[in-house]
Chain A
């Protein structure tokens, strides 16, 4: 018998749960204190927004909403690591990445508030819209990466799937194609431990999700997804490799969904309180704040002021969302095709006539 392949999965962490560096080779960019503080501020903004969105849903002003609570470090790291020209193919809760890319909070609210115009967002026009069918977006990102490769553009496609998403053939297809075609693709698994109620342990017998990339022949790494420094460092490396033609990377960001799956879910049905309580000790904001405080880059006073500013900004976005009138009934038909076929033109007229009669 001979061994034809062996593998190992690296686990990357810079800051422990208390914000103490666990190694002394912190990434160079993190010494740019202004940027580090900015990233932390973005994480705080995301959390304030998230809380407000849930409150809106609870008071009947928003439809079902998927929270980002607990995943802020990973989401903000993705947004900050990508170039504007790169293409982002999110699942449906990576607002932190999208805010960084110019998407407005009001647009997120529009989407979950039942209005397609949320998908016509202010971020890069080439970015994909939210993708509810699990893991399909990973293949769209692979397709985008293939377009870049064909056109010889130095651009990278970045996609996100959850831990549950790694069970889908679309995920396997995306990393397989990326390996076979050496595509400029980065797939981030936001392993938040639950796919609605199904725990990570029930998704797969594999010890890590990152190791699935080994079989696809692409670089694979596991990182502490609550450690902004770690996830950002892994992304920087992966995006640089992809941009220079060295192929795809799979990053498993280990984190925890501190919220329900969506506002339509009640996680108390399937996970013990103690587990959630324990997860709160490792959450991403607390550790980065502790690090910034220890480095004297941030203060409680600044924290308080920033939170107040976030609340104000979010309120303004919420107002803009609430003040946006519904689209006219003709919007049901518009954009179904570049040009409406005759059949649809007739149906559109019928719907419009019905509306006119009512008013």
Chain B
């Protein structure tokens, strides 16, 4: 079985679905001849031709609008926003049309599209290339919001996203695009789009995270283990719809929860998880819920970005606060 990176998981899933389903097309800026600025679509145009791997004019609004039109007329488009910071012009088409087309036509039309975007900070990129903005989409009814954090989950969740009959926002944590390789069989096996993944079992505290922050969170769990603290780590993977039951089950066991994400804190998706814990797990908790997040500022330019993103040190400190509280 081949060893592949997260971004190769994306490419492998795209190729697999394009081979399997002739209605799948890929469109975006530089996705064709160039194979994508991160190489996510490398080789696809050679395999499937320029009619199905479409280099569009440089306009995110057009890409999103074309995607809605294609999806409503029987195609399965996978659109790329080159960076998550460039997805804003697409939002009108995503929120007003893609997300509500099925609802507003009582199922007559639907929009089975995937909007992919490299996501998040930590690669010393220019301004507007490092945002974490998943929470802007998790509040939009009709969407699914997915953030894989491993090569295998990138492959399996993207397959599921393409096959899903509704629109999916698929954010790819670019900082860990090439962090490590793992064996991923190109077997066409999709992963469920409403499930959290327990990456590490533990009994003292539950660490809930997603995207590139899975890396720091697992490292923090390792560091804590050396001090005799047992942390369970959950990769949310699909933020919307949220598999809260898996999180709840873990917190029932540990009594403590630290939520880690790189987006700004206020009204970030961590707030939703914390609110649900307050609603449904209050009596299971023995300490206040902690959040380790980006600050409520813009992510700084890259000289300071690593000081903005949650670090192992900050996660460990938050866990210790929850332990000290009870």
By a beta-carbon cutoff of 8 Å, the part of chain A in contact with chain B is 87, 89, 116-117, 119-121, 125-126, 128-129, 131-133, 136, 138-151, 157, 169-170, 173-174, 176-177, 180, 334-338, 341-344
Contacts and interface: CB of A to CB of B under 8 A. Distances in A.
A169 B64 CA distance: 12
Contacts of B59: 169, 173, 176-177
Given A121-B108, A126-B109, 16 more contacts: A129-B104, A140-B97, A141-B69, A143-B66, A143-B67, A143-B77, A146-B54, A169-B59, A173-B57, A176-B57, A177-B59, A177-B62, A335-B102, A338-B110, A338-B166, A342-B194
A147 B142 contact: no
B61 A139 contact: yes
Contact of A143 (B65, B101, B106, B109): B65
B241 interface: yes
Contacts, number: 138
B74 to A, nearest CB: 6
23 contacts: A116-B104, A119-B106, A120-B107, A128-B72, A129-B108, A139-B61, A139-B62, A142-B66, A142-B69, A146-B66, A146-B69, A147-B73, A150-B52, A173-B61, A174-B65, A176-B59, A177-B59, A335-B106, A336-B103, A341-B241, A342-B241, A343-B242, A344-B241
A133 B65 contact: no
B43 to A, nearest CB: 20
Contacts of A176: 57, 59, 62
B21 interface: no
B73 A87 contact: yes
Nearest to B74: A147
A146 B66 CA distance: 8
B56 interface: yes
B194 A128 contact: no
A95 B61 CA distance: 27
A119 to B, nearest CB: 4
Give the interface residue-count category, chain B. Answer: 35 or more
Given A136-B96, A169-B61, A335 B107 contact: yes
A344 B66 CA distance: 29
Contacts of A138: 65
